[in-house]
Copies of this chain bind each other. A is one copy, B any other.
Amino acid sequence: MRAVVFNGPYDVSVETVDDPKIEAPSDAIIRITTANICGSDLHPYEGRAEMDAGMVIGHENMGIVEEVGPGVDRVKVGDRVSVPFNLACGTCRNCNDGYTSACLRANPSGMPGAGYGYPMMGPYWGGQAELLRVPWADFNLLTLPSGDEWERDFTMLSDIFPTGYHATELAQVTPGKSVVVFGAGPVGLMAAHSAAIRGASQIFVVDKEPDRLALAEQFGATAIDFSKTDVEEVVMDATDGMGADCGVEAVGYQAHDATGEEHPEMVLDNLVKVVRATGSLGVVGVYVPEDPGAATENAKEGRIAFNYGEAFTKGLSIAGGQCPVKKYNRYLRDLIIQGRATPSQIVSHELSLEEAPGAYKNFDSREDGWTKVLLHP
C-alpha cells in the first residue's frame, strides 16, 4: 500500500510499504477514506519529539472496515468507522474508568496510553496510508452512517473535535458561563465550537493569526488579537471586572509571544490572570515531562514556572491531559448528523495522499490559510 513515511526531521515521503495484516483475533483492517494532518504531527516532523525512521505517520483516521479478525463480533466488514487516536484495550482498569487515553495495556513500553503513528505511543503504524490495522476493533471503532455524507465533519471525530470538547469539559463549561480560549489552531477552534454547543454565554478566542481569528468569529466567539490588544483588559471589561468563568489552554509548551520567542509558562500565566477566582482551566495544549530543545533549564526538565501562587489564591482548578476520545465521540457524531455541529468549517485543504509531503511543509511553516488538511488516499 501507499503510505506517508517518516524518514527524519523535516522529511516525510509517500512510499509503498507492506499491507497491514490481521495479527490478533480482535484486529480489524480499515481502508482509510480520510486522514488528517494534526498539529501534533509537527512535533516529530520538527524533530522536537523523537520518532523512529520508517514509521507510518497519522493518528486522525476514518474509513471502511476491510477485514476483521475472528474475535470481532460487533463491527462488520463494510462498516464506515471513525478511529479514535487513542488505541485502547477496553478491559484494563483505566479503560474501565473511561480513561482510554491512559490504557494500561496497549503501549508495550508500559507507559499509560497508546496511539497510531506517533512517538512514545507504541509500535502502531499511522493512518496516512491506504490501510490501517486497528487492535481491539470492537472497542475502539465508532460506527457511522454508511455513505459519504458528513465525511469532512466526521473526520474531526478521531481527535480534534473531541479534544476541543474535552478542554471545555475539563474547564467545566456549563450553560451561561463565559470562556476564554487561548489558541485558535484547530483544537482551539473546536473548543470554541464546543463551548457554544455547551451553552456558554460568552466565548473569547485569543490568537494573532487573522485567518484563524476569523474562523473563531464564525463559530460565534469574540476574537482577540493578542499582538494588538490587551487581552486582560478586554476580558475584564466584558465580565464586569471579574474575569471569565472558564479557561482553555490550546497552545502548549511551545507558546511564543508576538515576537516569536518561546515562553512555556506564558499561556498558563495569562489564564490565571483572566479567569475569575473559583474558575476552572482545561489544558489540552501539550506539555511534556522532558524537552531537551527548550530554552530554559526548567523547561528542559518539564518544569513550567507559572504563577501557581496566584492560581491557588484564586482557588482555580487546573485539569489537563490527552482526550479520551471514546468518552465523547458518539455524542459529537450525533450532533453532526442532526446539523447542530459543523466542525468541517475549519477545513482549508483536501489533498491526495501523494501530496502529503508538500502539505507538511506548508502546514509546518504556518502558511497563511493552512488551517486543517485532509488527505484522501
Chain A residues near B (Cβ < 8 Å): 24-26, 69-71, 73-74, 89-94, 96-99, 101-102, 104-105, 112-113, 138-139, 165, 170, 174-178, 194, 197-199, 201-202, 242, 253, 265, 268, 277-278, 283, 286-291, 298, 301-322, 326, 328, 330-335, 337-338, 340
Contacts and interface: CB of A to CB of B under 8 A. Distances in A.
A199 B197 contact: yes
Given A176-B330, A177-B331, A94 B197 contact: no
A288 B313 contact: yes
3 shortest interchain CB distances as A-B pairs:
A176-B331, A315-B321, A302-B309
Contact of A90 (B91, B102, B335): B91
Contact of A202 (B298, B305, B326, B338): B338
Contacts of A194: 175
A313 to B, nearest CB: 5
B309 A253 contact: yes
Contact of A112 (B139, B307, B314, B331): B314
Nearest to A112: B277
Given A99-B278, A253-B309, 12 more contacts: A24-B71, A71-B71, A73-B89, A90-B91, A102-B278, A113-B277, A175-B198, A175-B335, A288-B312, A289-B309, A302-B307, A311-B320
B315 A317 contact: no
A198 B198 contact: yes
A92 B143 CA distance: 11
A305 B298 contact: yes
A50 to B, nearest CB: 15
* Chief secondary structure at chain A's binding surface: loop
A340 B310 contact: no
23 contacts: A24-B71, A25-B71, A26-B71, A71-B71, A99-B277, A99-B278, A102-B277, A104-B242, A112-B277, A175-B198, A176-B333, A176-B335, A201-B338, A286-B312, A287-B312, A288-B309, A288-B312, A289-B307, A301-B307, A302-B310, A315-B320, A315-B322, A318-B319
B201 A340 contact: yes
Contact of A74 (B105, B242, B337): B105
Contacts of A165: 175
A199 B335 contact: yes
A307 B287 CA distance: 10
A69 B71 CA distance: 9
Given A102-B278, A201-B334, A314 B309 contact: no
A146 to B, nearest CB: 14
A318 B319 CA distance: 6
A287 B102 CA distance: 30
A99 B304 contact: no
A286 B312 CA distance: 7
